Amino acid sequence: MLRNSASMPYAQVYRLDRLHSWMPEGAKKIPKLLYVASNATTQILVYHYKSGAFVGWLNPVNRGVSSIRGLCVDKVGNVWITEDDNTTGSSVAVEYGHGGSKALRTFATGGSAIGCSVDPTSGDLAVANWSTKSGAADLRVFERSSGIPKDYTIRACSFMASPGYDGDGNLYVDGQDASGQSTVCELPHKGIAMRSVGFNVSIQGPAGAMWDGKYMTLASAYNYGTYLGKTLIYQMRQDASGNLTEVGRTVLTDKGCPSGEADVTQPFIVGLRNTPENRNQGSVVVGGNNGIYCIYRFAFWKYPRGGNPEFALDNAPELISGQAVSIARQEP
């Protein structure tokens, strides 16, 4: 069972070594690790998922990085982190093994990255750039997480949030067109081009797409731009043309905040296996609550029930910009 932790206060976390990443011996054997990105320190803080105990930290490979905007995992529990340099408009995607402190691979994303996802069928790594040198957003797909990437653009999604592969290798991204209208686009499995797809929900502030083990989900801020916001996670059924129809929704609230707000960017759904390999619907959703009154709060909600959190980290950092849960490699 998840529980609060008082193992290390935030003030102590903030003074971590900014030059060297560190993970303890034995971290690779911890069954589940929680990775939390903080834009206050541009670091990744790592916690024991079950107890909430602080484990270690990862520093950016790019010392000039301005922000860390997204995290994702592959089926064996390797974690990909997208580091964005706002000054140069370039980003990198960096891979770490479960519980490891040394970067395994680093890829240039060709723009300002906002999130990533790994195809369970092929191992392809997809990174969404919210902007590029040409101005438009794009998807950069690294086949089998290596080699020369392929770039995909579509006018309908000139802004992209974090992407998500479903269990069959179809890639979805929610975003906006040039006029600010909410849109959803798809790169079909083995497709050669992206396409705009239909959807029947209201997305006020695109907050990422993710496979929950049963459905593709689209996350959205609610009451966007106010201090009374909530986060909605829509469960969507796909048809043969990629169009999405709502079959359920999860509403995240937070009674631990003075206004009850829950502003979660790229909420991460946790299942029995690593997403997107998981084939059973997840039971927990985690994320940093970046509401104006809750900038130090990281919470755990029941999924798909939602509502108020079951637990929260006592030692969460400020300005949380992404999260992921890595499950140690499991044999079939």
pLDDT, block means (10 residues), the chain with 332 residues: 44 61 94 94 93 94 79 96 76 95 93 93 93 81 87 92 96 92 96 96 92 97 68 96 97 88 93 91 95 85 97 89 90 48
Assigned domain for 37 exists: no
Assigned domain for 288 exists: yes
- Is the separation of the CB atoms in 323 and 68 below 8 Å? no
Domain CATH for 259: 2.130.10.10
Question: What pLDDT score was predicted for residue 224?
Answer: 57
Question: What pLDDT score was predicted for residue 231?
Answer: 93
Residue 45 φ/ψ, nearest 5 degrees: -100, 140
Provide the residue range defining the domain that includes 79. Answer: 65-95+106-319
Assigned domain for 253 exists: yes
| Nearest alpha carbon to residue 260 among 284, 226, 233 | 226
Task: Please name the residue that has the structure tokens 């991204």.
Answer: 173
Assigned domain for 324 exists: no
Question: What pLDDT score was predicted for residue 2?
Answer: 45
Structural domains in the chain (count)? 1
Question: What pLDDT score was predicted for residue 227?
Answer: 54
Assigned domain for 250 exists: yes
Question: What pLDDT score was predicted for residue 330?
Answer: 60
Assigned domain for 9 exists: no
Assigned domain for 304 exists: yes
The encoded tokens of residue 240 equal 């043969």
Question: What pLDDT score was predicted for residue 8?
Answer: 44
Assigned domain for 133 exists: yes
d(CA 239, CA 24): 46
| Nearest alpha carbon to residue 151 among 107, 110, 108 | 110
